Chains A and B, each alone.
Chain A
Amino acid sequence: MAMTMTQKILAAHAGLDSVSAGQLIRAKLDIVLGNDITTPVAINEFTKNGFSQVFDKDKIAIVLDHFVPNKDIKAAEQSKQCREFACSHCVSHFYDVGKMGIEHALLPEQGVVTAGDCIIGADSHTCTYGALGAFSTGVGSTDMAAGMATGTAWFKVPSAIRFHLTGKLPENCSGKDVILTIIGKIGVDGALYKSMEFCGEGVASLSMDDRLCICNMAIEAGAKNGIFPVDDVTMAYMEGRCERKPVVYAADPDAQYEQTIEIDLSSIVPTVACPHLPENTKPAADLGHIKIDQVVIGSCTNGRMEDMEAAYNTLKGKTIAPGVRCIIIPATMQIYRDCVEKGYVTAFIDAGAVVSTPTCGPCLGGYMGILAAGERCIATTNRNFVGRMGHVDSEVYLASPATAAASALTGYITAPKEV
């Protein structure tokens, strides 16, 4: 029976010749991931239920990234619990301050995830790794605990929506504009329980950073996973980086999709999602004079090197508008270091921005850029729900790094070409 790319990976990990949408399976896991918020709950469940050993110390990744360097005593206690668990079980992929990065930028960068993998993570943006041609999905802490104990997880095999990409992105657009456009089109539950499978000749023109960003926000359309085919761009990225040999799966030509949506990349424009849902999208140029108090450039969605480069190209030699606080957060220590070496950090500081070491902090209203009542932020993050970045009466607009940086210079939401 013909299968989608996702179904092929799931079938292989369930030890089955084929699977079909709706089937319940138990699949073997290549990586089980958790962070400093979700891992403590998983450890408690693991211990409470009498498990004493993890299934494979090399297939568990614990990344301290949400509230580190620790924002307060309680956060420090949670990090400590993760650290002690990782140490006592000899977890080889444990990333602490100094080595850490935002998990979904870090694991691909460090080659911990690879094409053909089946991955669960106790973080909703685990769907990011579909950019490498892996099946990867977010789960909760109990699933993480079960994954650590057994090396398996149960799944309902998803049906899929196919996104057929053609053309090439305009210069001022990036993966963020593509995924915001798609979410605006299908809605925040438009792909609920389903795979978003990307294909078509337009894929080749998208960089790995674009693809990682697009898959990262599949969850914002309700999807179980997002996935790209493996091509020369993917192979070049994985070469010499991945610790496991990539396994390439491709969708059958006659695979069944619930729907095919055509996306002409050349027609994409700089796009912004207005409060309070990622589906409330509008072209940045149509927004009028929306004044901002803060800009955040970073996160698992847009804290990668191309994002830093986009910010640099806009901000270098310029001055951030008076009254605007601009916070730039490279997503991993490697990216942070590269920003230092390339002179980006100096340029950011000269423009009036602050540059932080990696953290999820402001994206989820944790710390490092909390908004007061009535304040408005344009951010390259992934959610703009009520109270997401601070006070319930604050507002978050989601955009690409180019749009966020352009807005930092003018003080109101601004499309990149207007600067």
Chain B
Amino acid sequence: MNTQGTVFKYPDNVDTDVIIPARYLNTANAQELAKHCMEDIDTSFVSRVQPGDIMVAGWNFGCGSSREHAPLVIKTCGTGCVIAKSFARIFYRNAINIGLPILECEQAAEEIHSGDQVHVDFDSGIITNQTTGKTYQAEPFPEFIQNIIRKGGLLASLREV
């Protein structure tokens, strides 16, 4: 599995209230919710993002509420992957459980810029910045989590037990 696309760069502590504001949470419809992804800090994200594009952020991405709607809207918008220096723990669980690829890589998150063209190989964890030619090695997931991802999410993995 891999993804390739343009980078949208965000700062530290991007919270779930800006990923998907609670004022829209009166529906669980992913397509409807996705129209508002990131709008409180980046009003043009939804109109610019293309399938496979990559979000890159600093520390503690996805902090705040437990709303699974947050990784869901990022995925529904077509985002292929989120790379951050670290993830808030509930967002981390939710992303794995719903099948949004995420990678922790401090150096990549520091050095990659908005607009860079980046390729990510999920099997090896290798991130390639095609704009600068530089490559980075992300932390691999533990086997237990790789299994959830391979099976297509948490509930799908439980059904096979």
Contacts and interface: CB of A to CB of B under 8 A. Distances in A.
For chain A, which range describes its interface: under 10, 10 to 19, 20 to 34, or 35 or more residues?
35 or more
A49 B65 contact: no
Interface in A185-241: 188-189, 192-193, 219, 222, 224
Nearest to B161: A150
A38 interface: yes
A146 B72 CA distance: 17
Interface in A111-154: 121-124, 126, 138-143, 145-146, 149-150, 154
A51 to B, nearest CB: 8
B93 A41 contact: no
A46 B158 CA distance: 11
Contacts of B41: 386
A179 to B, nearest CB: 16
Given A142-B153, A366-B23, A385-B64, A192 B17 contact: no
Interface string A67-78: 100011011001
For chain B, which range describes its interface: under 10, 10 to 19, 20 to 34, or 35 or more residues?
35 or more
A329 interface: no
A139 B21 contact: no
A50 interface: yes
Contacts of B144: 24, 154
Interface of B: 13, 15, 17-18, 21-23, 25-28, 40-41, 59-60, 63-69, 71-72, 86, 88-90, 93-94, 97-98, 142, 144, 153-156, 158-159
Given A140-B98, A370-B23, 19 more contacts: A38-B67, A40-B28, A46-B155, A72-B26, A122-B66, A124-B65, A138-B66, A140-B68, A142-B155, A149-B158, A189-B60, A189-B86, A192-B60, A364-B17, A364-B22, A383-B15, A383-B17, A387-B21, A388-B17
Interface of A: 24, 37-38, 40-41, 44-46, 48-51, 66-67, 71-72, 74-75, 78, 121-124, 126, 138-143, 145-146, 149-150, 154, 188-189, 192-193, 219, 222, 224, 277, 364-366, 370, 383, 385-388, 392
